[in-house]
Structure 1
Amino acid sequence: MARDILFNAFAMNCVGHQSPGLWRHPKDRTADYNRLPYWLDLARVLERGLFDGLFLADVLGVYDVFGGSPDAALRNATQVPVNDPMLIVPAMAAVTQHLGFGVTSTLTYEPPYPFARRMSTLDHLTEGRVGWNIVTGYLDSAARGMGLAHQRAHDDRYAVADDYMEVVYKLWEGSWEEGAAVRDRAQGVFTDPAKVHRVRHQGPHYALDAIHLCEPSPQRTPVLYQAGTSPRGRAFAGRHAEAVFVSGPSVAVIAPRVAALRQAAQENGRAADDIRIFAMATIIVGETEAAARAKLDDYRAHISREGALTLYSGWTGVDFSTYAHDQQVRHIESEAGRSAMDNMTRADPNRVWTVGEVAEHVGIGGVGPVFVGDPAQVADALEGFIGATGIDGFNLAFAISPGSYEDIADLVVPELQRRGRYKRAYAPGTLREKLFGAAPRLSAPHPAASYRRLPPHASGLAAE
């Protein structure tokens, strides 16, 4: 029996996100990204549609590769201005009961000690509904903003990430035992010091001597998302990730990446389906196919092609302002996102893209496929894509927000439910329990579990 299809909404605390120019559409509300009512309304829509989560992208830095300056990004609101994704999560959690929240944070520029506290805080406040999208960064502008000349080399960033993960695992899993916060009013003891342990870490990139500042949250370690599908990214995902976000325009691009990710999990002693894999896609649906096609034409009239190429230049590290629109996109190696360049070059040898075609495609929903039609046609397309690629679900970008998600909740979800491919109610528990039907906390063979302390232990703050 086929598993339920999983849905995340894919958004960012900015204007437009993956559909540059669509903020001008009269039904789009993303220009209000800096006001809570927009986010609260979006969260309510997603929970009504039984979405598994809201996957919040983020970028530290600006898209200044196109034209060698941030002007095009600023002009087109191409992921700038952009606000912190973490700060909107507690408000959305307060108006929902089940919706999960995957939050992107770039570990390269986040010291692990305060970051671990922020994630534990979110896990407490959401009652275990938070995940972390682990990214290492891809913009030199972010490195310069942190006082560096440029970012580390691509594979070196993952070496740093491996050390970082060991630190946060020790803090989340190994510092506090279960039941350390005894809350004993009669004895006047809130925390039993014998059950709190000092973390001492001396790694190639990070050093730490401290206790974690938070008592154990519902999940301890948040659900771990990751988005890299380069060879080094796959190796990292195979060891650490519980869910992986892949992006590409077609089955030919996505299917081999899914197979490689599942193999990477097995190479790390995990089962192939220990990882939930989400592919980016955009759905444009109407009561009839004609209505959906009319929506697509309407949305295309609002695309900013310059904004789309500004995005793609940032993702690939290649300045596409110097290319003619009829020029073919050729593979160029850079220290930005390797997979982003592969999407339109080597990943599908049967498709040759021009710069103009890339701009048109990226203009609605980024590099993922766009499924257009009536509810039955869209459901057929979703099921077909899953069958051909082996993914578990979709990170659904939007053309307009929250309108695209309202359409999905009202038209696509009921059709998938009718086919027995989509849940009719949320499962109880934390985000991890909902996604995997497993315990709220990570278990072996995931490396995080190896750092968890189990009683009994010697008294005091023990050394790691």
Structure 2
Amino acid sequence: MSQPKHIHVNAFNMNCVGHIHHGLWTHPRDRSTEYHTLKYWTDIARILEKGLFDALFIADVIGYYDVYQQGVDLTLREGIQLPVNNPWLLVSAMAAVTEHLGFGVTATVSAEHPYTFARDVTTLDQLSNGRIGWNIVTGYVDSGARGLGRDSLDEHDTRYDRADDFLALAYKLWEGSWEDGAVIADKARRIHALPDKVHAVQHEGPYYRANAIHMSAPSPQRTPLLFQAGTSERGRRFAGQHAEGIFIGARDPAAARASSRQLRQAAIDAGRAADDVKIYAGVAVVTGRTEAEAREKYEDYLAHANPEGGLAHFAASTGIDFAQYDLDEPIAYGNSNAIQSAGQAAQQAGLSTRRQLLEQFKLGSRYNTIVGTPAQVADRLTQWIDEGEIDGFNLTRIVVPETWEDFAELVVPELQDRGRYKTAHGEGTLRQQLFGHGDRLPARHPAAQWRRS
């Protein structure tokens, strides 16, 4: 009989005041207004390391939310992911105060160039001893496109075409430019790198071209661990080709199972294995030593939440200004050039009016929320894993750092007692810790074709 698999957990955060649960920055115990200080981030990193989290998954968006009410007034008043700072600049400080915690950091393809981005990632992978992951996003708000000098976003599927080309060049740089053993750092012979083991890569793609040597010597993982969150039809094909960690939204374990099977099949269709991907669902957890304590904490959080802030965030995700609808007027979702799966999920969940959406977002977000004792929370999490056929969760913050401290102190020991959570950090790179098959991408991943023997 096979052993039940361990549950993987990332803390889910963003370099801003309001991330997912809008309005909770006003809670007296919340520290998220300190997001622009290093101490805030190093304190979080230490908590997560001690709590045996796999990684800190840091979201990002290039642009801002101006769809709801056709402006940014509510976005600014409530701090709805605005202002938002660069997530990548946080990693060195957090890596310096931890040894095992991984970092899954978001970067938008259209806002980067593969040549310089490859160097940034390699640098952080070196400094962290191989603990870097990249959450690949293609962008979903027109405000970001306008800031980058374009009138609007490219068409949805075209954005994935660009991402394919971006990765093709990045793989050549990370995997094929420097051979293993190119760097010998021989002081006596005054040879740092062997020229015959360093190669320029040539790339002529539909969006990018290059003829250059990767500026950085290889890092422990070479290619960072690859995260992705698109579950549209085109997004699934992209994930099947490239992703190692896939972040899904699902209303229940049955919906998670359907998405999981589609994504694993997409990996198989791309010549990879079903277990080459770890699938994560977003979740919020409110726990206490008793059910009454957990429920009291939840009611306290509700008093600070802003459902309309959640609706404004969702408006940007779907490209629909919900403010134009009366409370009980049916919403016409249609096709979107933003996050296609967001609107589809809302329709499948029967959220057809603004009143229903506001009720869904009563904690400031549309995330599944589990409230209960450690045993009750563990029951629900294991149900999602076993019935939903997923591997873990992105645990979003409600109150910082209380959400993650409570989970580490109360829920982790319960899961450990059930044999469902690790009791110590693994050694090695982030990829090795998650998959146990070494630091590098497996040979069946498309990046491997650019390696030199």
TM-score of the two chains, using structure 2 as the length reference = 0.98
The alpha carbon displacement at 1:439 in A equals: 1.1
Alignment of 1:6-405 (within 5 A): 6-346=8-348, 348=349, 351-364=350-363, 366-405=365-404
Per-residue displacement from partner, 1:295-350 (whole Å, max 9, x unpaired)?
1111111111221111000100000111223344443211000011112103x4xx
8 Å CA contact retained: 1:18, 1:362: no
- Provide the alpha-carbon RMSD of the alignment: 1.2
The alpha carbon displacement at 1:361 in A equals: 3.0
Q: Which consecutive aligned stretches of 4+ in structure 1 deviate over 4 angstroms post-superposition?
A: none
The alpha carbon displacement at 1:278 in A equals: 0.4
8 Å CA contact retained: 1:253, 1:343: no
8 Å CA contact retained: 1:365, 1:399: no
Structure 1 gap ranges (5+): 455-464
The alpha carbon displacement at 1:192 in A equals: 1.1
C-alpha distance in structure 1 between counterparts of 2:66 and 2:82, whole Å: 11
- 3-state SS, counterpart of residue 10 of structure 1: strand
What letter is aligned with 1:119? V
- 3-state SS, counterpart of residue 128 of structure 1: coil
2:416: which partner in 1? 417
C-alpha distance in structure 2 between counterparts of 1:339 and 1:61, whole Å: 20
The alpha carbon displacement at 1:367 in A equals: 2.7
C-alpha distance in structure 2 between counterparts of 1:368 and 1:22, whole Å: 14
C-alpha distance in structure 2 between counterparts of 1:232 and 1:211, whole Å: 32
Change (3 A) 1:424 1:122: same
C-alpha distance in structure 1 between counterparts of 2:387 and 2:364, whole Å: 21
C-alpha distance in structure 2 between counterparts of 1:401 and 1:17, whole Å: 11
C-alpha distance in structure 1 between counterparts of 2:330 and 2:370, whole Å: 25
8 Å CA contact retained: 2:283, 2:368: yes
Asked if 1:435 corresponds to 2:430, the answer is: no
What letter is aligned with 1:423? K
C-alpha distance in structure 1 between counterparts of 2:362 and 2:109, whole Å: 29
What is the aligned residue count? 451
The alpha carbon displacement at 1:387 in A equals: 1.6
- 3-state SS, counterpart of residue 428 of structure 2: coil
C-alpha distance in structure 2 between counterparts of 1:111 and 1:288, whole Å: 51
The alpha carbon displacement at 1:89 in A equals: 0.7
The alpha carbon displacement at 1:229 in A equals: 0.3
C-alpha distance in structure 2 between counterparts of 1:366 and 1:246, whole Å: 15
Structure 2 gap ranges (5+): none
What letter is aligned with 2:74? A
The alpha carbon displacement at 1:71 in A equals: 1.5
- 3-state SS, counterpart of residue 371 of structure 2: strand
Per-residue displacement from partner, 1:326-383 (whole Å, max 9, x unpaired)?
344443211000011112103x4xx445323323433537332101100000000001
Change (3 A) 1:264 1:441: same
What letter is aligned with 2:403? S
8 Å CA contact retained: 1:325, 1:354: yes
C-alpha distance in structure 1 between counterparts of 2:332 and 2:9, whole Å: 33
C-alpha distance in structure 2 between counterparts of 1:188 and 1:213, whole Å: 20
C-alpha distance in structure 1 between counterparts of 2:273 and 2:115, whole Å: 31
C-alpha distance in structure 2 between counterparts of 1:453 and 1:447, whole Å: 14
